Amino acid sequence: MLTTISFPLKKGITQGMLEKEYGKFYESSVAVRVLQGEALPETKRVAGRHGAEMAVRVDEWTGRGLVIVAIDNLGKGAAGQAVHCFNLRHGLDEAEGLNW
């Protein structure tokens, strides 16, 4: 599944600033990979995996930020999410029973 999310930005925010912020937020996540530069998420790279690929962009014409995310909705769907949450709640390895 490929999803695009759009949101208003404060004036002066650049793509580099967004990449840095998103990269910092998700740097310790085993489930999310933030792509840098011109790379875009592809569904074929997440097929059969629990994780997600993400890229951020700035649309300077509209002044909006864009987040593009690719997930395998079977792997990262409700069942996979339930296993992930169970692992976190019970102090197990985050990836236990999941295909990252």
How would DSSP label each residue in the chain?
A: -EEEEEEE--TT--HHHHHHHHHHHHTT-SSEEE--TT----HHHHTT-S-EEEEEEEETTTTEEEEEEEE-TTTSSHHHHHHHHHHHHTT--TTTT---
CATH 3.30.365.10 fits 2-89, yes or no: no
Q: Tell if the pTM clears 0.75, that is, is over it.
A: yes
In this prediction, residue 76 carries a pLDDT of: 61
The full set of domain ranges for the chain reads: 2-89
Q: How confident is the model at residue 94 (pLDDT cuts 50, 70, 90)?
A: confident
pLDDT tens for each residue of 41-77: 999 998 877 789 999 999 989 999 999 999 887 766 6
Could you give the CA distance from residue 33 to residue 93 in angstroms, rounded to a whole number? 18
